[in-house]
Amino acid sequence: MKKETVEWRTVASVDNIAADRPLEIIIDETFLLLVKVMDDIKAYQGLCPHQFARLSMGTVSEGSIHCPRHKACFDVYNGKCGPGWQLPALRQYHIRVDAGEVAIAYPLSVISPRNE
């Protein structure tokens, strides 16, 4: 069995991620979302699991990411869908933050399954 090597790709500066708006990055045609959570950064799938709106066009407030299209919301801490909707949680990806730079594990690596 071949062991896969993880590469850490720097994708953004923490200073470029606003507290109230997620930052979109695209890696290998995969839309991802970087979200500032207190002093931490989280990376989630960038397309809404409802009808694939780009969540980067939405906002972050009151602990939630708000989809711009039909207003579903997702918890910034774990990606779980908020009240009133029954959608899968956002996939969360492995990242690390070092010296103000955000790096993402490549190949992309999901932390938690969508339907937990």
Which stretch in 14-22, 46-54, 97-105, 107-115 sits in contact with ligand FES by CB under 6 A? 46-54
Which stretch in 22-30, 36-44, 65-73, 97-105 sits in contact with ligand FES by CB under 6 A? 65-73
Which listed residue (12, 33, 48, 89) binds ligand FES by CB under 6 A?
Answer: 48
Q: Which residues contact 105 (CB under 8 A, 6 or more apart)?
A: 6, 7, 8, 93, 94, 95, 96
Instruction: Tell me whether residue 12 or residue 48 sits nearer to ligand FES (CB atom).
Output: 48
Q: Tokens in use for 111?
A: 């932390």
Contact 44, 65 (CB under 8 A): yes
